[in-house]
Amino acid sequence: MSTEGHKILVVEDEQEIRRFLRVSLEHSGYRLVETASAKDAVVQAATQQPDMLILDIGLPDGDGFEVIRAVRQWSTMPIIVLSAHGQEQDKVQALDEGADDYLTKPFSVGELLARIRVALRHAAKSPAGSASQFTVGELEVDLAGHVVRLSGKEVHLTPTEFRLLAALVKHAGKVVTHRQLLKEVWGPHSVHETQYLRVYMAALRQKIESTPARPQHLRTEPGVGYRLAMG
């Protein structure tokens, strides 16, 4: 899918980061709308109809969480939050409020563009048209057929391991919070049972990672959740 020409609303009050975003995104063919204000962000999101939102959490006249809540009342556009290093609680809250992903400052152009591509790809996918086949590197997952292969060889997963992997495949490339995973795999009554995740993630890594101690596919996002890497 070509992502060129998409309009992105950038909400950031730090001049230097805004300039970095403008140069990087315009160079890649995106169109930009910019603001430094939380209140203006909601207005611009409604009137400019951007394809996605890149949003700083700390803004002079409010915070990014308010912007997410306001925009989520009428739009499902992808929202990527910009967060400072070590602010895991902010990231989790932003994702719980409805953000799609986050970038930790300082981030590279490569990371920025990769996150944007993933977010736009997920946004373009209708539920009916979502692919049931997922391949990255030597890992193949056939969701409809319930088959997982590593280097062409079938891997046997327990039903729970498969549900966990399937939940990550559905959000491939995006972070999924502990809470989201627990809810999707074990149900809404289990959202605090983070030890389930640790146990099953370790088992899954043993089966689908060539070096489980240094996972290439099932990445840990410290303090937030997990991400199935796209490459």
Please identify, using beta-carbon distances, which residue of 81 and 165 lies nearer to Ca ion.
81
- Interface residue with Ca ion among 56, 90, 100, 161 (CB under 5 A) is 56
Please identify, using beta-carbon distances, which residue of 38 and 185 lies nearer to Ca ion.
38
C-beta nearest to Ca ion: residue? 58
Site pattern 7..26 for Ca ion (x: CB under 5 A):
------x-------------
**Nearest-5° angle of CA 187, CA 193, CA 194?**
115
Query: Under rule CB under 5 A, how many of the chain's residues touch Ca ion?
Result: 3
Number of neighbouring beta carbons within 10 Å of residue 60: 8
CB 204 within 8 A of CB 186: no
Does 221 contact Ca ion by CB under 5 A?
no
Does 90 contact Ca ion by CB under 5 A?
no
- Interface residue with Ca ion among 37, 58, 107, 150 (CB under 5 A) is 58
**Measured between alpha carbons, how far is residue 127 from residues 97, 132, 168, 222 in Å?**
21, 11, 15, 29
Contacts of 155-164 with CB under 8 Å at 24 or more apart are 155/207, 155/208, 156/207, 157/204, 157/207, 158/203, 160/185, 160/186, 160/200, 161/200, 161/203, 161/204, 161/207, 164/197, 164/200, 164/201, 164/204
Does 101 contact Ca ion by CB under 5 A?
no
The distance of closest approach from Cβ of residue 97 to Ca ion in the complex, given in angstroms and rounded to an integer, is: 17
In this chain, which stretch among 48-56, 101-109, 163-171, 198-206 interacts with Ca ion, using CB under 5 A?
Answer: 48-56
Please identify, using beta-carbon distances, which residue of 56 and 161 lies nearer to Ca ion.
56
Collapsed DSSP state (helix, strand, coil) of residue 32: strand
Does 66 contact Ca ion by CB under 5 A?
no
Q: Which of residues 132-191 bind Ca ion (CB under 5 A)?
A: none
Does 212 contact Ca ion by CB under 5 A?
no
Cα–Cα distance, 42 to 153 (Å, whole number): 50
Site residues (vs Ca ion, CB under 5 A): 13, 56, 58
